[in-house]
């Protein structure tokens, strides 16, 4: 029996979480299949700050998450490990955020143009530094045979991750759940703005498709990018989805349309503001509308049920408030994303069907337990 098997045997998944590790799990990095990289960065936030505090807050809130997951009952046995946040990232984010605030104050003032351009260049250099740092970190995780997850921070943070996956996969798609398109070219003249993440991601040639879901706030420039993309960018606008639902179309049907737009290898980029603001009241740029928690989880579940593989994911723009609510929702969403990503990567399992059973649990190889439901083949 190896160390991990011994820990699984001794660990009580129904017990009180220690709070030391993410979700109170007992595994170290080597023993874990899923590695979460915290990126406490918020240099380019354009409305409300605070998302750099999300990784620490989500780690704390994760102790409140019960480990049984009806989609993947033994998912915790895979191991989810969150690395320690790099203090260099936090330090540089704080320094550049102050400069970004000065930069934004000087926008439109010709007298301050020279000073402003110097600040802009420093901020852009910082964004490039972060991108390369994240790229190397994620490349190392993938090379080690682990499943990578990024926890921001603002939505600019996963660009290096997206580039790293482009070095591993010849072609893959991005499923973006978000209130915003993030397709602006260097928003506020900042190359690595959080509002430009998907514009930059489209420069990665291996990204064959970008499917955006929940969009309800966008500009003319972004609409032009969508319309000129030759269907490389496909958008499921929040208002259009809601209208279909009001007229009798089920969420399952809409999800199946979304999934059909995706290639077989999928990266999920989740901006928490894709959810209804009641679930993320302190997020940086909230917009009325959005998805319920279970709607978002159901969509990801349909991606997995379709046989597509989730090759990585990120969660961004969670902003801790005066209470733990935003972090609590973020921790639960992160857990579901990790578990469903793990399930999508699992080896096929034998599922014994029972006439009256809605759900069937069956053990696969390497003690990986799978959960199947009657819709799985839909």
Q: What is the Cβ-side half-sphere exposure of residue 272, based on CA atoms within 13 angstroms? A: 33
Tens digit of pLDDT for each residue in 220-238?
Answer: 999 999 999 999 999 999 9
Confidence label for 113 from pLDDT (cuts 50, 70 and 90)? confident
Is 370 within 8 Å of 72 (Cβ atoms)? yes
> What's the pLDDT score for residue 111?
73
Q: How far is Cα 293 from Cα 308, in angstroms, rounded to an integer?
A: 21
CA neighbor of 340 nearest in space, from 72, 82, 74, 73: 72
Tens digit of pLDDT for each residue in 323-358?
Answer: 999 999 999 999 999 999 999 998 443 333 333 333
Q: How far is Cα 69 from Cα 46, in angstroms, rounded to an integer?
A: 36
Q: What is the mean pLDDT of residues 137-144?
A: 98
Name 315's bridge partners. Answer: 151, 270
Confidence label for 19 from pLDDT (cuts 50, 70 and 90)? low
pLDDT of 316 over the 80 cut? yes
Tens digit of pLDDT for each residue in 153-169?
Answer: 999 999 999 999 999 99
Using omega within 30 degrees of 0 as the cis cutoff, is the peptide bond preceding 153 cis? Answer: yes
Average pLDDT, the chain: 91
Confidence label for 359 from pLDDT (cuts 50, 70 and 90)? very low
* Cα angle value 148/154/159 (rounded, 5°): 50
Q: What is the mean pLDDT of residues 259-275?
A: 99
> What's the pLDDT score for residue 378?
40
> What's the pLDDT score for residue 349?
30
Q: How far is Cα 327 from Cα 323, in angstroms, rounded to an integer?
A: 9
> What's the pLDDT score for residue 356?
38
Sheet holding 233-237, edge to edge: 80-82, 34-39, 147-152, 309-316, 265-271, 172-177, 207-215, 233-237
pTM over 0.95? The answer is no
Q: What is the mean pLDDT of residues 274-300?
A: 98
Query: Cβ neighbours of residue 179 under 8 Å, at least 6 residues apart?
Result: 214, 215, 216, 217, 238, 271, 273, 274, 285, 286, 287, 289, 290
pLDDT of 308 over the 90 cut? yes
User: What sign results for the dihedral spanned by CA atoms 48, 49, 54, 57?
Assistant: negative
Q: What is the mean pLDDT of residues 295-304?
A: 99
CB atoms closer than 10 angstroms to residue 181: 26
| CATH of segment(s) 3-349+358-373 | 3.40.800.10
| Percent of the chain clearing pLDDT 90 (strictly above) | 85
Tens digit of pLDDT for each residue in 23-68?
Answer: 999 999 999 999 999 999 999 987 788 999 999 999 999 999 999 9
> What's the pLDDT score for residue 361?
31
Every domain of the chain and the residues it spans:
3-349+358-373
> What's the pLDDT score for residue 375?
41
Q: What is the Cβ-side half-sphere exposure of residue 51, based on CA atoms within 13 angstroms? A: 33
Q: What is the mean pLDDT of residues 308-317?
A: 98
DSSP single-letter state for residue 188: G
Go through the chain and tell me how many residues it has: 378
């Amino acid at each position: 029996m190896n160390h991990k098997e011994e820990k699984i045997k001794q660990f009580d998944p129904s017990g009180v979480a220690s709070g030391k590790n993410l979700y109170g799990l007992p595994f170290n990095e080597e023993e874990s299949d899923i590695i979460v990289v915290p990126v406490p960065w918020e240099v380019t936030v354009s409305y409300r700050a605070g998302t750099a505090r999300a990784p620490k807050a989500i780690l704390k809130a994760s102790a409140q998450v019960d480990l049984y997951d009806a989609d993947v009952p033994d998912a915790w046995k895979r191991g989810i490990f969150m690395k320690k946040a790099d203090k260099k990232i936090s330090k540089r984010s704080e320094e550049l955020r102050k400069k970004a605030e000065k930069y934004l104050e000087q926008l439109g003032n010709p007298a301050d143009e020279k000073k402003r351009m110097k600040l802009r260049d420093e901020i852009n250099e910082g964004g490039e530094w972060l991108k390369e740092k994240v790229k190397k970190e994620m490349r190392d995780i993938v090379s080690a045979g682990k499943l990578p997850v990024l926890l921001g921070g603002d939505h600019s943070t996963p660009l290096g991750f997206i580039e790293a996956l482009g070095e591993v996969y010849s072609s893959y798609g991005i499923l973006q759940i978000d209130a915003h398109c993030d397709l602006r070219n260097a928003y506020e003249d900042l190359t690595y703005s959080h509002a430009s993440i998907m514009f930059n991601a489209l420069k990665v040639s291996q990204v064959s498709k970008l499917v955006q879901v929940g969009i309800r706030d966008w500009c003319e420039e972004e609409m032009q990018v969508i319309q000129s993309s030759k269907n490389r960018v496909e958008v499921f606008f929040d208002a259009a989805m809601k209208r279909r639902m009001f007229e009798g179309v089920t969420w399952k049907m809409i999800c199946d349309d979304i999934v059909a737009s995706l290639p077989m290898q999928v990266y999920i980029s989740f901006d928490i503001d894709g959810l209804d603001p009641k679930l993320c009241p302190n997020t940086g740029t909230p917009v009325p509308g959005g998805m319920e928690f279970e709607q978002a989880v159901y969509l990801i579940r349909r991606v997995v049920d379709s046989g597509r593989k989730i090759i990585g994911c990120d969660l961004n723009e969670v902003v801790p408030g005066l209470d733990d609510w935003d972090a609590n929702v973020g921790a639960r969403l992160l857990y579901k994303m990790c578990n469903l990503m793990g399930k999508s990567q699992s080896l096929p399992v034998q599922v014994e069907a029972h006439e009256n059973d809605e759900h069937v649990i069956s053990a696969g190889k390497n003690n990986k337990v799978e959960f199947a439901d009657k819709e799985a083949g839909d």
